[in-house]
A and B are shown apart, each in its own frame.
Chain A
Amino acid sequence: DQQVKQNSPSLSVQEGRISILNCDYTNSMFDYFLWYKKYPAEGPTFLISISSIKDKNEDGRFTVFLNKSAKHLSLHIVPSQPGDSAVYFCAALYNFNKFYFGSGTKLNVKP
């Protein structure tokens, strides 16, 4: 049973608008949550993370929100750019040992 879920396989957004990618998890003991971005034929690259003791972390156009009561996190990209088109993976870190990944959301930002 997947502990980290991304229920939207794909998302299409117009350039300049906001992209919101969602992720749900089941284990309340996760220490950190991370977002990775993956282009075709490349490995995932780290984008942004948030500690389980915080509810928001911002880095430029990227903001991650954590709602622990709902076991939900989201990644906001504002404004979206065509170069943001990629697959985004949500991941959770357990006991500072193991990472659990969601199935990914493919974002398409239209010019």
Chain B
Amino acid sequence: DADVTQTPRNRITKTGKRIMLECSQTKGHDRMYWYRQDPGLGLRLIYYSFDVKDINKGEISDGYSVSRQAQAKFSLSLESAIPNQTALYFCATSDFKGSETQYFGPGTRLLVL
């Protein structure tokens, strides 16, 4: 089973709709992240969380919100989706205990019409 899972894997929605992307991890890591990937721009950080009570904005948090429901779960919400939020979204985890790397989920492809 995958260590970091994302649901849904693909989603089409309409402008103005509220949607939620979910991320779960079985690695036991404290730190979780949400990124979006756009062509030519790489991955940009939306939000990150270092534990259940700690939420931080990243580079591009406007239009997004997050919820850390448990150590293993970190969800990303688009309160009112707009077309320029069409992108590939990745969740990642890390713990910095002996390794500085991140572990990524498989991604969610979102299309906002």
Contact = CB atoms under 8 A, between A and B. Distances in A.
Q: For the complex, would chain A's binding face be called helix, strand, loop or mixed by DSSP majority?
A: strand
Contact of B48 (A4, A31, A98, A103): A98
Given A34-B101, A43-B105, A46-B101, A96 B96 contact: yes
Nearest to B101: A46
A93 B100 contact: yes
Interface in A67-111: 89, 91, 93, 96-104
Interface residues of B, number: 23
Interface residues of A, number: 27
B102 interface: yes
A28 interface: no
Interface stretch (B14-22, B35-43, B73-81): B35-43
Interface of B: 4, 33, 35, 40-45, 48, 50, 58, 90, 92, 96, 100-107
4 cross-chain pairs, A with B, having the tightest CB-CB distances, nearest first? A43-B104, A46-B101, A103-B42, A101-B43
